[in-house]
Chains A and B, each alone.
Chain A
Amino acid sequence: MIRRMLMAGAVALGLAGALPATAQQPVEIQFWHGLTQPNGGLLEQIAADFNASQNRYRVVATFRGSYPETMVAAIAAFRANTAPHIVQMFEVGTGTMMAAGRAIKPLHELMAETGLQVNFADYLPAVRGYYSLRDGRMMSMPFNSSTAIVFYNKDAFRRAGLNPDQFPETWQGVEQAARALRAAGHQCPMTTAWPTWLMVEQFSAIHNIPLATQDNGFGGLNAELAINNPLMLRHLTNLVNWQREGLFRYGGRDTAAEPLFPNGECAIIFNSSGYRGRVQRESQFQWGVAMLPYYNDVQGAPFNSIIGGASFWTMNRGPNAQRSAEELRGVAEFFRFISQPQVAAKWHTDTGFLPVNRTAYEQVRATGFYSQPQNAGADIPIQQLLRGGGQMTGNTMGIRLGGFVEIRNIIQEEMERAFQGQQTPEQALTNATNRGNQVLRNFERQNRGG
């Protein structure tokens, strides 16, 4: 009796297992992202829209923690043969992913094999350049991009007798403004979020000086840091002096300085364009945005700024597991879906990230979005990316260094030691260069075989 029941159970189980194969089930595409709310929910909505638009594929979007956590999770999953089809990778991880060999499926291969078309020529050059090889072949799918800009407190500017509608264009002007703010009793004239991204990476791009040799690493894994240069030293020396004089405040790593602006404590903050929503929500004063300042005695400056944010990478399942043609087709269809101007335009206006293609930008502009008072300056980031005539050089395309997460932290640490007065700005740059180069050499060695 028991044996018969077991048999029947086994047969039922077998049938249940066999059934889905006969019915037409959509192919599941695993998609891991690292966006917190509300942006994460908006991203998941895009996946849901894609699923509703067809029935052959189903994109399953899952939140996997912050960008670095998502990166670590995807890499660990790959080693365990359970990598997602698509992973959202922040720009700092780009160098690591590019060198990842058979762990990834380059975007240009994916598109060629599936025969689907996306008009990448329409993408903003700064966005396209960041995620493509030197010959222009795309490696990953651009999606949420931002850049860095200035946010300033117009009320504080007024109190200090400064023109609230005209943020100074140059660092010399910013210094004067900071002095005026200080003289008017402001305890913290300016601060910055993401110290390395703003004060080293963006700074180098805007002045067209290299952050690293080999076109910031685009040319090969043998790149070396080049931040120990006179202009960088001049700027870091200024920052350290300003910090001592009370014109600049070091607010901590990554986003630690962010609360200092909306609460009115600091009058100027340099931060990602994606910070706009928070300022809008939390600040109780009139504020404005402006393009990043530059030293006007540097020839050719200002050039375009570079992007931050993330792109989507197609991953293989594991070291020895390829994707089926059907799975790749599903990924490519999803990428084509998100490249549509109306999707990009909605994402831009909903979140404050950049419109990644020109058509989306034009569409949003045509709706009169930027001329509405609450959206004033929302197109500043785009204009800044196109500053310098859109003519990008090897120093303004972006940064492609392996182990860049670590290098960013190293630069941050050495800057902190300089701000503490434990070392001179010159020593900080020398130490950061030496330690960073060691990371680069290790990465080169680890990826030699690829």
Chain B
Amino acid sequence: MRKKVIFKGVALPYLLLLPQLIITGIFFFWPAGQAIYGSFLREDAFGLSREFVGFENFADILADPNYLNAVSNTVIFSSAVAFSALGVALFLAVQADKAIRGADFYKTMLIWPYAIAPAIAAVLWLFLFHPQIGLFGRFLNGIGIPWDYKLNGGQAMLMVIIAAAWKQVSYNFIFFLAGLQSIPRSVLEAAAIDGARPARRFWTVIFPLLAPTSFFLLVVNLVYAFFDTFGTIHALTRGGPGQSTTTLIYKVYVDGVENLNFGASAAQSVILMALVIALTAIQFRFIERKVHY
């Protein structure tokens, strides 16, 4: 039975919607419109001369090997971050869900990193991985493994993946733990009575029942890796060496803010915007259809 509140007239409902509409308009539609408009222009940094160039900015970007490099970096980076963050979080959540002494303490510790700002987290990792001052970096060099993320693109990528994934583990952990706790004990007990060993119980009972949570987290993690990892990359590698850790969002920043090339930056933002819209649409579709809590 759905309860419906009926307003008399149209003025009041619109008035109540107005604050939200204004916020959406100012902080979303207006800048988005500006970005779309800007992506068709080519102008100098000071905005004194501008030229309408149609789709030229888009054509230039898509023909630029550095942009394509950023696309492949983003694919590698995002999938690695999402899968490692999900895998580790799931493992930890399953362990924390068991009846162990001091479970609350572990849980608190595991959730903690989420409250750390990306740039600060990056600095912490820097102290671990820096080849000269970092604990881990010095150790690696000491045992004869040449570790220098400032010159080795693969190592730089590995480092930003670890730093970005670590930060997301906490978030995933909370959701997985909640998901695990909502699985009825009776189902698990029934499986145990039927003779299913823990590993089998996990893969045949727990994992499928966690699927909605996992799918939701997968989308959230991908969006995180795409858009929220700017601070981590900026503090750790600044997109280098070469451009081996430049992702799409980092390139938008470099071209727009550092290089003051607004047209190219706006065009890249528009492409990214299309991507988010697609991701969100997929998420809603699947979650609406497949999820049965």
Contact = CB atoms under 8 A, between A and B. Distances in A.
B238 interface: yes
Interface string A266-280: 000000000000000
B48 A101 contact: yes
B258 A450 contact: no
B150 A102 contact: no
Interface stretch (A147-155, A253-261, A356-364): A253-261
Given A265-B132, A420-B152, A409 B258 contact: yes
Contacts of B152: 420
A442 interface: yes
Interface stretch (A24-32, A71-79, A328-336): A71-79
Interface string B33-56: 000000000111111110100000
B241 A420 contact: yes
30 contacts: A78-B46, A96-B260, A100-B44, A101-B48, A103-B46, A253-B238, A253-B240, A319-B48, A405-B259, A405-B260, A409-B258, A413-B240, A413-B242, A413-B243, A414-B242, A416-B151, A416-B240, A416-B241, A416-B242, A419-B151, A420-B151, A422-B153, A439-B259, A442-B261, A446-B42, A446-B45, A446-B51, A447-B44, A448-B49, A449-B48
Contact of A446 (B43, B132, B153, B242): B43
Interface string A186-228: 0000000000000000000000000000000000000000000
B259 A445 contact: no
Instruction: In the A-B complex, list the 4 residue pairs whose CB atoms are closest, starting with the nearest.
Output: A449-B49, A406-B259, A446-B44, A416-B241
Given A251-B150, A409-B258, A416-B151, A319 B240 contact: no
Interface residues of A, number: 42
A413 B47 CA distance: 29
A138 B150 CA distance: 40
A257 to B, nearest CB: 9
A34 interface: no
A406 B132 CA distance: 28
B257 interface: yes
Given A413-B243, A448-B49, 17 more contacts: A101-B46, A103-B48, A252-B240, A253-B240, A256-B150, A260-B132, A403-B259, A405-B258, A405-B259, A406-B261, A409-B254, A413-B242, A416-B240, A420-B153, A420-B241, A446-B44, A449-B49
Nearest to A101: B48
Nearest to B48: A101
Interface in B216-264: 238, 240-243, 254, 257-261
B133 interface: yes
A447 B151 contact: no
Q: How large is the interface on B (under 10, 10 to 19, 20 to 34, 35 or more residues)?
A: 20 to 34
B213 to A, nearest CB: 41
A298 B258 CA distance: 36
B150 A450 contact: no
Interface in B154-177: none
Contacts of A405: 258-260
B132 A420 contact: no
A447 B238 contact: no
Contacts of B42: 442, 445-446
A72 B151 CA distance: 28
Interface in A420-450: 420, 422, 439, 442-443, 445-450
A265 B138 CA distance: 13
Given A259-B133, A420-B151, A96 B45 contact: yes
A252 B152 CA distance: 11
A265 B261 CA distance: 39
